[in-house]
A and B are shown apart, each in its own frame.
Chain A
């Protein structure tokens, strides 16, 4: 059983790690664009903002289990198969991008408009305002938001097990549920709890370290 658990844990970690990387890669820019194209911001584009916001809402309104099945053709296109750990990553990323984008959006809205105005008055261009003002100012909130996203991904990845995605969730369903092996079920839950706790603590610690630093 230990070997099964170890393998499943590593699969979960792999799925979550890869999915997180892609989520940040696509979600961060999307969140930034959502903010800067909004009314009164540094690159106001009402139409684009409206369309993006609509698309994000649409993607977020779909339950993950349905999304996973719905985008199977897309998954096949990307990884060549719809079964297995790699195939599970695609729906994970698709589901997490809009979620993470909204988190980035709220974090960046927290940045004081006056500070952005000051940077504009100093002759900063939009790119400099994003990279040198907005992102550093919002960094603690972004770290906490990323933590929440990763934890969500762990949860989703367990669901991906239902369609043969591998990982802890897969193990829990196949052994814990179908074979009535309660010990496996309990072990998987304990592993998930530990993972989430560790991550949240790490996120809190990082964000706090930055904030305490700024209060020095």
Chain B
């Protein structure tokens, strides 16, 4: 659906050259909800803007449904943008137009007749549950309502792709949940491909089936979301994947092991099995369990006291036999 290859974006700031994007390769398939996560300044915003070229890439290619977006003329580009919806952190609604006229805006750009516009806008208002707000101006809407108008407006031209630029970052946790579930439902019902830019891992966990981690303009990790959370993180990705950390006020007595359980092992009584099998003390320092894309992922940080390294090897082998991913800290 979307192939991004060797995409770079370079600009100069105060005479210095900044590489916002540095050789990005990404393959997004039809129906994916593809999350791109990174800290602020990592280049996520540039990356998503290079997909519909509201920011010009310096080099590289973006191919959407076989069409090289980066090679299009301005006119062709405008045409192809009608196939790519976009929603924003600050909603970016027109304050001078009502909810109805905001949603009708992209349709009027395409010169649809008012009768067709009315039909489309009415059905979109129903989809985002704002039928009663049709004639209200955006300044009287809550953040969640504004974003729902944004979503309706982005979907008006029936695009195949929806770009979400920090779409929930300005919303409270409850509204965030509602918007995310709306996005998920819509992507499923309409078969739209979503590209989701965020700095919140919660967003990724909630809706993205795939994820790429962006740091300093480079993708440092990418893959299926649930798998990424159940493998050993690299030093760079630790922070994003929410690895458990031992509380600082505890002094380390033995060897600390970070255990990651996924589907099968998450429900098994692995620690009590360990206690029965080994004569060593074990302390549980921290732990959590959650469901990511319908896969249960559990994490546990334990401290084990063994007399020798060989014994520790046996302990690790035991956990690995149980399909637990072990990381020695």
The reply to whether B78 and A112 contact each other, CB–CB distance below 8 Å, is no
Q: Which of A112, A122, A136, A210 interacts with B97 by CB under 8 Å?
A: A136
**Which residue, A114, A128, A215, has most C-beta atoms of chain B within 10 A?**
A114
The distance in angstroms between the C-alpha atoms of A119 and B153, with both chains bound, is: 11
Binds A, one of B133-141, B225-233, B282-290, B313-321: B133-141
CA distance A188 to B320 in the complex (A): 97
Interface string of A184-216 (1 = CB under 8 A from B): 000000000000000000000000001001111
A203 to chain B, nearest CB (A): 18
Which of A118, A123, A214 makes the CB contact (< 8 A) with B96? A214
B87 to chain A: closest residue by CB: A118
| Chain A positions within 8 Å of B105 at CB level | 119, 122, 132
Is B94 a contact of A115 with CB atoms below 8 Å?
yes
Complex Cα distance A216/B96, Å?
A: 11
B19 within 8 A of A: no
| Contact A114-B81, Cβ < 8 Å, known A121-B52, A136-B97 | no
A124: Cβ under 8 A from any B Cβ: yes
B95 pairs with A214, CB closer than 8 A: yes
The answer to whether B106 and A122 touch across the interface, beta carbons within 8 angstroms, is: yes
Q: Min CB distance, A133 to chain B, in Å?
A: 7
CA distance A137 to B139 in the complex (A): 13
What 10 A-B pairs are tightest by C-beta distance, nearest first? A118-B92, A123-B81, A114-B92, A121-B86, A122-B106, A136-B96, A123-B78, A123-B82, A214-B137, A115-B92
Contacts of A210 in B (CB 8 A): 96
A211 to chain B, nearest CB (A): 9
Report the separation of the CA atoms of residues A166 and B65 in the bound assembly, to the nearest whole angstrom. Answer: 69
Interface residues on A, range: 20 to 34
Chain A at the B interface: mostly helix, strand, loop or mixed? helix
Contacts of B79 in A (CB 8 A): 123
Distance of A120 Cα from B82 Cα, bound (Å): 10
Contact of A125 among B78, B88, B93 (CB under 8 A): B78
Which residues of B are at the interface with A, using a C-beta cutoff of 8 A?
Answer: 52, 54, 78-82, 84, 86, 88, 90, 92-97, 105-106, 108-110, 136-137, 139-140, 153, 157, 163
27 contacts between A and B (CB under 8 A): A112-B90, A114-B90, A114-B92, A115-B93, A115-B94, A117-B88, A118-B88, A120-B81, A121-B81, A121-B86, A122-B82, A122-B106, A122-B109, A123-B79, A123-B80, A123-B81, A123-B109, A123-B157, A124-B78, A136-B94, A136-B97, A137-B96, A139-B96, A214-B95, A214-B139, A215-B139, A215-B140
B93 CB → nearest A CB, Å: 7
CB contact under 8 A between A216 and B137, given known A118-B92, A136-B97, A139-B96:
yes
Contact of B94 with A123 in the complex, beta carbons under 8 Å:
no
CB distance from B286 to the nearest CB of A (A): 41
Please determine whether A114 and B88 come into contact, CB atoms closer than 8 angstroms: yes
CB within 8 Å for A215 and B92 given contacts A117-B54, A118-B86: no
For B97, the chain A residues whose CB sits under 8 A away are: 136
- Partner pick for A216 among B86, B92, B108, B140, CB 8 A cutoff: B140
A-B contact sample (12 more), CB < 8 A, given A213-B137, A216-B140: A114-B88, A117-B88, A118-B86, A118-B93, A122-B105, A122-B109, A122-B157, A123-B157, A124-B109, A128-B109, A137-B94, A210-B96
Most chain B CB within 10 A, of A119, A123, A210, A215, is at: A123
How far apart are A36's CB and chain B's nearest CB, in angstroms?
15
Nearest A residue to B97 by beta-carbon distance? A136
